[in-house]
Amino acid sequence: MTRLPRALWIALALAAAPASAFGLARFAYAVLLPPMQADLGWSYATAALLNTVNALGYLGGAVFASRLGRRMGVHAAFGWSLLATALALGASALSTLLPVLLVLRLVAGFSGAVTFILGAALTAALAASLRAGTGTAGAAAAAVGASARVPTAALLMGVYVAGGGLGIVVSGLALPWALNSFPDDVGWRVGWGLLGAVGLVAWAVAARAARRVPAPAPRTAGSRAPVRGMVPLLVGYTLFGMGYIAYMTFIVALLRGDGATDQQVAVFWVVLGLAAVAGGFAWAPVVERLQGGRAPALLMVVVALGAGLPLLWAGPVPALASAVLFGGTFLALVGSVTHAAQRVLPAAQVADGIGLLTTVFALGQSVGPVLSGVLADSADGVRAGIALSVAIVVLGAVAFLPQRRVLPEAATTGGAA
């Protein structure tokens, strides 16, 4: 096997981590929200509260991910966080009490952040091992000769992040079956149980793949990610976190309000997930070519277009176009920001830098559902909440543009991809 498919297979297996952390633990809630809301009598503000708590857990996980990686070892912390996510998902089927569900959403958010950050650090280490010819994948790369094409860091990171789309596809296929096969007060419970089972599969696949990747470079004593050189990335990513989450939380409710059938909603969700998987591959050459903050800015504009389409036109065609544009871009944007951080930071600071970016992203996610949920309960309904998200995403696109290409210290220490 040549180095290209070996590295991509490892990245694809690692992608089971964001499939769990994103596709299952965060985004699948949008499909389960309507029956839970109907069965439990929740307002939109209460429904949004669960995503806010999930985002707060994600914030805590972002803060502690690097510390857990250093204390437990990256591979062990990565595996345990994946397992915790699966267990929190499955346990959500066992209670109708709001405080219990809030705690489980908090746990899933915390463990999901640890999973994503450490998995991204492992993916960056995989790309570095290919360039250096070290580790399992790197040794295989060296064995086939210098003429073989080494996968770019942007491609590997795009493949890794696109795993979130696979989680959306799985939930889009499994959850409608559960909701249609059981009464409303049972179907959403079965749905959470299915998510927990799929999460266990993701744990088994990704944890095994992680063992084939060398540990990321250790951080030097006293070093921290150079915040000043990342300000545009940090501001833009905060706004992205605020903006995109309203769409992912309330788009199903909007489609149902516009008359979409259960089958149409299921098709929409699966198309969105498939587009997210394809987007990791499709956007990789663009992300590799554009320097600084230009790639995230471009992708933010496409995200805004996708989120705005259902506000302008109702019906299945605009909905599917929205799924393709938004789905094919929003996870690729996560990958583009993560790749930009790799270019900015020295190798030993990549995990901390990704953790810092994930922290501000989680802050944005914590605020976004509250604002959009309050607006969704207003006279204008969920359209107002999604319209606010579009405006915030456009502002974020502008914020990304001033980002510099590569910091001098990153270039001299080999941090650039």
Top-confidence residue, 344 or 370: 344
Q: How confident is the model at residue 85 (pLDDT cuts 50, 70, 90)?
A: very high
Question: How far is residue 192's CA from residue 94's CA, in Å, rounded to a whole number?
Answer: 9
Sequence-separated (6 or more) residues with CB below 8 Å from residue 181: 187, 190
Question: How far is residue 179's CA from residue 177's CA, in Å, rounded to a whole number?
Answer: 6
User: Do 191 and 85 contact (CB within 8 A), yes or no?
Assistant: no
Give the torsion through C-alpha atoms of 371, 25, 341, 9, to 10 deg.
-150
Residue 76 pLDDT > 90 = yes
Q: What is the pLDDT of residue 405?
A: 65
- Rounded to an integer, the average pLDDT of 77-105 is 94
Q: Which two tokens stand for residue 331?
A: 């996870």
Top-confidence residue, 229 or 131: 229
Query: Which tens digits make up the pLDDT trace of 235-249?
Result: 999 999 988 877 887
Nearest residue to 78 via CA among 105, 118, 46, 19: 118
Q: What is the pLDDT of residue 143?
A: 40
Q: What is the pLDDT of residue 261?
A: 82
Domains contained in the chain, CATH given: 3-216+225-412 (1.20.1250.20)
Q: What is the pLDDT of residue 225?
A: 61
Question: How far is residue 381's CA from residue 379's CA, in Å, rounded to a whole number?
Answer: 5
Question: How far is residue 126's CA from residue 211's CA, in Å, rounded to a whole number?
Answer: 11
Q: What is the pLDDT of residue 149?
A: 53
Question: How far is residue 112's CA from residue 83's CA, in Å, rounded to a whole number?
Answer: 10
Cα-Cα-Cα-Cα dihedral sign, residues 187, 61, 358, 106: positive
Query: Which tens digits make up the pLDDT trace of 266-319?
Result: 888 889 989 988 988 888 888 888 888 889 999 999 999 999 998 888 888 889
Residues 141-171, buried b or exposed e (16+ Cβ, 10 A)?
Answer: beeeeeeeebbbbbbbbbbbbbbbbbbbbbb
Question: How far is residue 228's CA from residue 280's CA, in Å, rounded to a whole number?
Answer: 28
What is the DSSP-derived secondary structure letter of residue 227?
G
Alpha carbon distances (Å) from 323 to 69, 217, 248, 255: 35, 38, 11, 12
Q: What is the pLDDT of residue 157?
A: 82
- pTM, full prediction: 0.77
Q: How confident is the model at residue 156 (pLDDT cuts 50, 70, 90)?
A: confident
Average pLDDT for the chain:
82
Top-confidence residue, 293 or 107: 107
- Rounded to an integer, the average pLDDT of 178-203 is 91
